């Protein structure tokens, strides 16, 4: 089985897939955390690997940036490759006053101005929510690792550069952070009857101008990866 975007064969993917946006981060995870990792896709440079973590099969595949890209790859994994769980791992911009650089956030829900869900023809846009089972397992994994993780709502935006709107308004709604893929993943998981969770590391705080250095991004983001991998063990 292959698609225009994925040359992997049926059975090449594990039941749980970690999805960073960056193909090079997918490569890093495979080489640094998985045993016997093998490349199963490189179409359009969207690297995908399958290996084992503590003896359990786990896959990692890049999603690219934005909801359209996440929508394509998550739908194909869920629908054509028998994947049951997708855990997005990526970066986010902190919005809430209680969020600091390098904090880990688990998105229980994702609010979005995107029209992504209009395709379903519903009378209103459905809630984009994480799978409770995955969220519960991730919370247990974080506690077992001794890593503090914030659980709350994120904002999923279609635009990285924008001329309108204020993140301060979203802060008033207790939104923790902003990123660009979670809503599409959550909608796709709901539509296909599968499980999804977004775990992010705060790389910058747009309202204060703070941002992580390249070294901090490399060294601190491993906490998020470890939580996702330990969650995969529980699936």
Query: How far apart, in whole angstroms, are the C-alpha atoms of residue 117 and residue 203?
Result: 28
State both tokens at 51. Answer: 């290996």
| 38, two tokens | 């093998």
Calpha distance 226→222 (Å, rounded): 6
How many angstroms separate the CA atoms of 174 and 57, rounded? 37
Q: Is the distance from CB of 183 to CB of 80 less than 8 angstroms?
A: no
Q: How far apart are CA 13 and CA 17, in angstroms?
A: 8
Tell me which H or E stretch contains 31: helix 23-33
Residue of 12, 82, 133, 204 with catalytic role:
204
Tell me the Ramachandran region of residue 199: left when phi exceeds 0, alpha when psi lies from -120 to 50, beta otherwise: beta
- 204 catalytic, yes or no? yes
Q: What are the residues whose beta carbons fall under 8 Å from the beta carbon of 70, sequence distance 6 or more?
A: 19, 63, 64, 88, 181, 184, 185, 188
Retrieve residue 176's tokens: 């923790």
Exposure of 47 in the CB half-sphere (CA atoms within 13 A): 15
Catalytic positions, please? 204
């Amino acid at each position: 089985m292959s698609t225009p975007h994925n040359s992997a064969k049926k059975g090449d993917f594990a039941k749980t897939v970690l999805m960073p946006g960056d193909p090079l981060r997918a490569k890093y995870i495979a080489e640094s955390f998985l045993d016997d990792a093998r490349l199963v896709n490189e179409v359009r440079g969207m690297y995908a690997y399958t290996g084992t973590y503590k003896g359990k099969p786990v896959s990692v595949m890049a999603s690219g940036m934005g909801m359209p890209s996440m929508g394509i790859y998550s739908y194909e994994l869920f629908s054509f490759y028998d994947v049951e769980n997708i855990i997005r791992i990526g970066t986010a911009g902190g919005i809430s006053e209680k969020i600091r650089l390098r904090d880990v956030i688990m998105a229980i829900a994702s609010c979005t101005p995107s029209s992504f869900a209009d395709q379903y023809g519903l009378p209103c846009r459905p809630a984009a929510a994480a799978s409770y089972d995955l969220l519960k397992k991730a919370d247990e994994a974080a506690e077992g690792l001794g890593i503090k993780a914030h659980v709350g709502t994120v904002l999923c935006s279609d635009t990285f550069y924008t001329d309108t709107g204020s993140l301060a308004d979203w802060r008033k709604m207790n939104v923790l952070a902003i990123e660009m893929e979670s809503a599409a993943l959550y909608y796709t998981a709901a539509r296909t009857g599968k499980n999804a969770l977004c775990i992010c590391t705060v790389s910058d705080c747009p309202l204060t101008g703070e941002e992580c250095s390249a070294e901090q991004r490399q060294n601190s983001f491993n906490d998020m990866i470890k939580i996702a991998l330990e969650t995969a063990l529980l699936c």
